[in-house]
Structure 1
Amino acid sequence: MTQSPTKKITKNNLLFHLGLLTRNWRKVLNADFQNCGLTEATWRPLLHLSHLGDGIRQKDLAASVGIEGPSMVRLVETLIAKGLVHRAEDRTDRRAKLLSLTDMGHSMVARIRETVVFREEQLLNNFSGSELEQLTCLVERLETAVADARQKGK
């Protein structure tokens, strides 16, 4: 099902449309991952944990995913119950918890990545290499501008 914008994308509504695009992309992935018993709340942290590396502090994973500590605690409990994540005490700070993917967690991340790559190829195969390169550069510039705006707002 293709949704065409009801209004032409302009400078005044571009970021709104990018937000919609991101939300719809996550909906596509959520539908794919339901078969694995994962929701967005569970597959995104697994990818972040994989990217950050085993032995990451729970609070650092929460910051990377963009959720508050108490929400991360509940989420980690779910991931542990599913056998995807292991939690251990940090030897340097007993209050801190270190997270690692289990073997099953690493396998799940591999499945998630395969699905993401498949969907990306499906969605991006209509663009030429130079179009994708240009889009990548533009998105990177926009990300930098947003990061700068966030820093100025602090």
Structure 2
Amino acid sequence: MSKFNTPRARFGLQFSLIARQWRRVMQTHLSSIGLTDTTWVPLVHLSECDGITLKALALRVGVDSSSLVRVIDALEREGLVARKRDAADGRAKQILLTRAGQRRVKAIRTELSRFEETLMVDLSDDEVETMTSALERLQLKLDDYENNNNPESSS
């Protein structure tokens, strides 16, 4: 086996391709029930850390704050999110899920679970737990790398 054909050497490319395909297939599935990547992702993140600033939400979602403003405006018009003044910083506003937003997230999570169950039917719970644990450790390494090697983070 050549040094470029080992599991470690293939991991990055394989992971990247699978992640893109997973997201593409998931998005196609969710769009069939009227959910777009642009709107459901911020809602799910808000359900995990409700009451955060636009900037913090943009970091979690992985988009620029300026592009997220329009999405939040649309979600607010739909009654799924609300903005309130941040008690710690009166200039900032926190974004919160409304009850309607919480119901929408519950429906999204139900659909995501169905989708994931279909794709992972041949994987045991132990295999899924092992992969999840490894990915969490990898994410910590990536966060550490990004925080220590990103020129923007040191300014």
Aligned pairs (5 A) from 1:74-113 = 74-113=70-109
Letter matched to residue 144 of structure 1 = L
2:48 to 45, 51, 74: 51
8 Å contact 1:42–1:75 — kept in the other structure?
yes
1:25 to 18, 22, 36: 22
Does residue 133 of structure 1 match 2:145? no
Deviation >4 Å, runs of 4+: none
Does residue 123 of structure 1 match 2:115? no
8 Å contact 1:26–1:40 — kept in the other structure?
no
Q: CA deviation at 1:10?
A: 4.3
Identity of aligned residues (%): 36
Letter matched to residue 17 of structure 1 = Q
Q: Deviations over 1:6-61 (max 9, x none)?
A: xx7843342122122122222222223224432111110000000102x2222211
Provide the TM-score with structure 1 as the length reference: 0.81
Q: 1:132 to 1:60 in 2, by over 3 A?
A: same
Q: Which residue of 1 aligns with 2:39?
A: 42
Q: CA deviation at 1:145?
A: 2.7
Q: Which moved more, 1:142-151 or 1:118-127?
A: 142-151
Structure 1 spans left out of the alignment, 5+ residues: 1-7
Secondary structure of 1:95's partner?
A: coil
